[in-house]
Amino acid sequence: MKLIVSWVACRSFLFYRPSEDTSRSGNYLNPQQNPRSESSNVERLGEARERELLGNAHYVDFSTLIINMAIQDATIIAPPALISITTLLSLLAALSILVAAVVLSKRLLPQPQSRRTVILHTWHLFDFLIHTLLEGPYLYHSLFSYSVTPPSSGDYPHPASLSTASTRKFLGYSDRNYGAAHSSFPTALLWQEYARADARWANTDLTIISIELLTVLIAGPLALYVCYLLQRPTKNVAASTCFWMTILATGEIYGGFMTFAPEWLTESSNLDTTNWMYMWLYLVFFNGLWVAIPAWVLWVAYGEMKEAFKKADEIDGKSKSK
C-alpha cells in the first residue's frame, strides 16, 4: 500500500503543471472577474493558447486527482485473487466425492476382495458420482439457466445490444444466452470457477454439451451398473463386467479427446495455459484422470478376456483330443 501511495504522489507531482504567472490564475472562464478582460483581442487569444498548452492544470481538484490515480494504479498493481472461496469449495467438493466413493466402496463390496477389485469398484463409483453430482448440474445450467439478450437499440453498437446469441438459435431461441455463467446457484459458481481455465464451460459450447449429454445420461448410469456387477463376483458375471468396463473406458477416453481436440487445432483459444494452477491442476490433472485410469481399466479387461480365451482354447483342445 505504501508503494502505491508513493507512486501516486510521484505521478501527481510530475504531471501537475501550475501556471508560471500566479497573478494570472484567476477564473478565465468569466471575463468579468478577469482583471485583464479589457486587453486586446490578440492578448486574449494568447492567454487562451497558453491555457490550452498548460492543459488547464490549475483548475484540477488536486485531491480528486490523487484519488482517481490511486484507484487506477491499485487496479493495475493488484492482480485478481488466484485462490478464492469458490476455488476452495470447488476443490473440497471434488475431494469429498472421492472420500465418499472410498467409504461406500468398502461398505458395498463383499469381503474379502482383491486390491484390484476394490480399486475398480471405487473408481467406477467415483465416476458415477462425478458425472451425476457435478456434471449433471452443468448440463442442467446449459439447458435451463439463461439470461435474455437486450434487443437491438438505436444506440447500436452499444455493448448491451451486441451478442453472439443473435447469430444462431439454441433450443429454438435466439435471444437467450444459456450456461453456468448466467446463474448464481452454487453449482453454477463451481463451473464458473472451472471456466477460468476453460472458458467453454461457462456458456453454450455445442461440442461440450453434446459430450455431456452422453456422459451424464449414459456413462454415469453405466458406471453404477459396473459397480453392481463387481459386487457379484461370479463366473457368469465376469464376462459382462469386462465387456461393460471396456465400453465405458473407451467412451471416457474418446470423450476426453473430443473435448480438447478442437482446442489443439485452434491453438487453445479458450484455455488459460499461462496460469500454473489452471494449467496443471484443472486441465492436466483432473482431465488426465479420465484418460489414465480408463486406460488401466482397458488393460485389466484385456488381461481378463485374454485369460478367458486361453482357458477356453485349452478346454476345446482337450475335448478334441478325446
The closest of 234, 141, 154, 229 to 191, measured between CA atoms, is 141
Could you give the angle at the alpha carbon of 245 between the alpha carbons of 239 and 248, nearest 5°?
140
Count of C-beta atoms within a 10 Å radius of residue 192 = 20
Query: Could you report the per-residue pLDDT of 122-165, keeping only the tens digit for each?
Result: 999 999 999 999 999 999 999 999 999 876 555 555 554 444 44
pLDDT in tens, 249-265: 999 999 999 999 999 99
* CA 143-149-152 angle, 5° bins: 150
**pLDDT score of 38 more than 70:** no
What is the tens place of the pLDDT at every residue in 83-137? 788 889 999 999 999 999 999 999 999 888 889 999 999 999 999 999 999 999 9
pLDDT digits (tens, 9 = 90+) for 207-249: 999 999 999 999 999 999 999 999 986 666 688 899 999 999 9
Q: What is the predicted pLDDT for the residue at 118?
A: 93
What is the model's pTM? 0.70
